[in-house]
Structure 1
Amino acid sequence: MGKFNKTILSAQLLLAVTSFFVLHSAWAVDEVVATNLEPYHHVILENKYVTVMRVMIPAGKTTLFHEQHLDYVNTHIDGSTVEISYLDKPTADSEMKSGNVKFGAHQDVHEVDKVKNTSSHLNMHVGFEIKKIGPQHFGNTSRPDTSAFQNVLDKKTVRGWKVTLQAGETTTAYTQYGPGVRVFFTEGRLLVNIPGKINRNKEIWVHKGDAMLTNAGRIELTNGGDMPLVFNDYELL
């Protein structure tokens, strides 16, 4: 083979290799994964009703494109400014404010996006997907009419309250009709009382960003610590 032909072959080979890596890189950038498989979404709890994830996006980092096809609830623990990119519409700047709740109605409308943390600190939120197409009609849920409860979410598949208990304060007993999720903004000692049961008081130590699954039934919650205890209490409908 002549020198000229070898040069052409080498150039063609280089072009082919370069094209492969360019195409591969482009594909990788636009790779779409299920939300619970996205590397910054850490699955911490799951049952037949919900998948609970602690989402931690470091400053300046971006998630992969991930698909949302179920109703979901995000509780912003440590918020930040963010840049949200989509496959089919312009990029948008936004802010996840600490303490806020975001609901995504995606039972019938799928959405694919990726989120970049544009701040200088960690973005942490606890999200859960509702695995059952709803509502499931567990019951007409409510909470005691006291200052401890503030309604923060009222949708056809889920309802939520921000609960603030001062040291030693109790919610008084109430009935939960459907399964749910509890997400904590502060740390402390939570006393869970199941009325009518022997040894009914259960003591649970919780930390900021913790979550727990909850079940239907009669319940009373007490702040067993010496500092205010703040959490969101969600119940599926």
Structure 2
Amino acid sequence: MKYLKLSSLSLLASLNVFPLVIPSASFAAEKEPVVATNLEPDHHVILENQYVTVMRVMIPPGQSTLFHEQHLDYVNTHIDGSPVRASYPDKPVKDFEMKSGNVKFGNHQGHSEVDKITNTGTTLNMQIAFEIKQAGPLGFGGSSRPALPAFQQVLDAKSVKGWKVTLQPGESSHLYTQKGPGVRIFFTEGRVLEAIPDRPNRNKETWVHKGDAMLTAAGPVEIINGGDTPLIFNDYELQ
């Protein structure tokens, strides 16, 4: 009598039994890609110079950013906040609220962080954020603002300082000197008058909207609210 030698797989097939195949971890749960912050699709680069990259971040309700790496000092101004969920590759998720008007500073020089943000609210989450391209402080000197009720300091880090400025209609910031470059971010719309140095009563006039941003430079500064409603903005200066 001749015997037919079957392979184990053939034998299992003949018995209509199949081995359980367990996929590898990399196959079962591939890692999501990680991109640089300024390449993340919800981070729209709107301004840039040798010092900073300024981004308008817009996350619709129920949607998420990609995982993105922040490896530079990072200032985030919440224009339209919402509840969010932060997910990380190596630690539990965190639920919290980004409140409109708040400022978050990320001290990421030398120790980067990767996260993904999901808008768990029902309205658009919009932020104006900027990365500081070089490790600070850069040596521009200690900045300051006039000791007036219009100025409220909201950030004091080694690489950048920030003030919330509220000017009533017709009110002036009074003349002061900005020592380093910076970023100005507006919470309200209105007409901004900027005094032109050494030209009395000559002003540069700009109309701004909520969520607008502009780059600023070192030098003498005087800002006047040229509109008929309060003008509110955050003024940041690199150190």
TM-score normalized by the length of structure 1: 0.88
Question: Larger deviation: 188-197 or 116-125?
Answer: 188-197
Match of 1:71 in 2: 73
Deviations 1:174-211 (A, max 9, x none): 00000000000000000011321478410011000000
Give the drift of 1:75. 0.3
C-alpha distance in structure 1 between counterparts of 2:34 and 2:217, whole Å: 33
Q: Secondary structure at the match of 1:226?
A: coil
Match of 1:205 in 2: 207
C-alpha distance in structure 2 between counterparts of 1:198 and 1:227, whole Å: 25
Q: Secondary structure at the match of 2:222?
A: strand
In structure 1, what residue type is equivalent to 2:179? Y
Give the drift of 1:40. 0.4
Q: Secondary structure at the match of 1:75?
A: strand
In structure 2, what residue type is equivalent to 1:183? I
C-alpha distance in structure 2 between counterparts of 1:108 and 1:51, whole Å: 18
Match of 1:227 in 2: 229
C-alpha distance in structure 2 between counterparts of 1:144 and 1:68, whole Å: 33
Q: How does 1:33-112 map to 2 (within 5 A)?
A: 33-112=35-114
Match of 2:30 in 1: 26
Match of 2:125 in 1: 123
1:174 to 168, 173, 176: 176
Q: CA RMSD in A?
A: 2.1
Match of 1:157 in 2: 159
C-alpha distance in structure 1 between counterparts of 2:195 and 2:73, whole Å: 30
Q: Secondary structure at the match of 1:77?
A: strand
* Structure 2: gaps (5+ residues): 1-9, 14-22
Match of 2:7 in 1: none
Q: Secondary structure at the match of 1:36?
A: helix
**Segments ≥4 residues shifted beyond 6 Å:** none
Give the drift of 1:44. 0.2
C-alpha distance in structure 2 between counterparts of 1:24 and 1:235, whole Å: 47
In structure 1, what residue type is equivalent to 2:167? L
In structure 1, what residue type is equivalent to 2:165? V
Deviations 1:15-62 (A, max 9, x none): xxxx8xx949834xx100000000000000000000000000000000
What is the percent sequence identity of the aligned residues? 68
In structure 1, what residue type is equivalent to 2:225? N
- Give aligned pairs, total: 220
In structure 2, what residue type is equivalent to 1:134? G
Match of 1:184 in 2: 186
C-alpha distance in structure 2 between counterparts of 1:25 and 1:234, whole Å: 42
The structure with the greater share of residues assigned to helix is: 1
Deviations 1:100-146 (A, max 9, x none): 00000000111000000000000001000000111011011100000
* Structure 1: gaps (5+ residues): 9-18
C-alpha distance in structure 2 between counterparts of 1:23 and 1:193, whole Å: 62
In structure 2, what residue type is equivalent to 1:116? T
C-alpha distance in structure 2 between counterparts of 1:26 and 1:199, whole Å: 63
C-alpha distance in structure 1 between counterparts of 2:81 and 2:217, whole Å: 28
Q: Secondary structure at the match of 1:70?
A: coil
